[in-house]
Amino acid sequence: MEHQLIETDTVKQALSVAGWDMEMELAGMAVGTSQFELPRVRIEHKDNGKHRMYIDSGESYLDDQSQEIEIPGNKLNAVVFAEQNIRAFWKEGDEVPACSGIDDMPIGIEPLAVSCKRCEHGVMGGKCKPKVRLLLLAENDGEIKPLIMNLSPTSIKHWNVHKKKLARSNLPVVAVNTTFELEDVKKNGFRWAEVKLGMDGIASRELLVIARTARNELEEFTKQISKSDFDDSGDKQD
């Protein structure tokens, strides 16, 4: 059955006539789903070097509305309020990772090692895919909203350089407006985009208050890895 075009205003009016409050019903749904459905900052790598950074809001039934929000100039300005090192190891042909970990601690029913640091697959150049998962606050459609951004292995070094510069400046990561920009890279016949980071001043008091609340509310999310954390191009081992 094909999805029919849904007009939100028509739905809202129908609910109102029947005695329902649409905003209240949506808020009730958000309680159980928002932590797993945060919009994600993604990167589309292109062979011609015209890479793209955009916000992926996830699938919906609204055929007339794009769920991809363009980031002007491929430059994002955000406050980082949480950081995690995540990993995943796939066996050939599997659709889900055989093992995964958060901050060097394996999670799941049958981890391959007691620690990611002691695992043979987690060594430099091994088959266990490392990423840095960042939780951000950024302006989206005129509102300040939380986003997720997963830095690929080739961009992790830029994140580490950014943190070292902040540490030398006696500045916590959450205290600044961090900038994310794409850099075109060509090597060994391949072409991709890496994320370079910088800072654009100190975060406002308003953003810092929101960031503290967001970190507390999203604490449960940081205890697990979702399928969306490793569904970017090139994530799965062939």
Mean pLDDT in order along the chain per 10 residues (238 residues) = 53 79 70 61 92 84 68 95 90 80 85 86 80 91 89 94 96 96 92 95 92 87 81 60
- Is residue 58 domain-resident? yes
90, part of any domain: no
The residue to which tokens 């990611």 are assigned: 116
Range of the domain at 170: 37-85+130-230
Q: In the prediction, which pLDDT does 235 show?
A: 61
Structurally, the chain folds into a number of domains equal to 1
Phi, psi angles (nearest 5°) of residue 90? -105, 140
> Cα–Cα distances in Å, from 50 out to 56, 57, 148, 170, 191?
18, 22, 23, 36, 10
pLDDT given at position 35: 41
**Any domain includes 44:** yes
Mention every residue, 6+ apart, whose C-beta is less than 8 A from residue 157.
Answer: none
Distances (CA, A) of 234 to 3, 46, 238: 31, 13, 9
User: How much is the pLDDT for 201?
Assistant: 93
Residue 105 belongs to a domain: no
Q: Is residue 235 part of a domain?
A: no
**Residue 220 domain-assigned?**
yes
Cα–Cα distance measured from residue 139 to residue 56, given in angstroms and rounded to the nearest whole number: 14
Note the residue count of the chain.
238
Q: Does residue 41 sit within a domain?
A: yes
The answer to whether residue 101 sits within a structural domain is no
pLDDT at position 171:
94
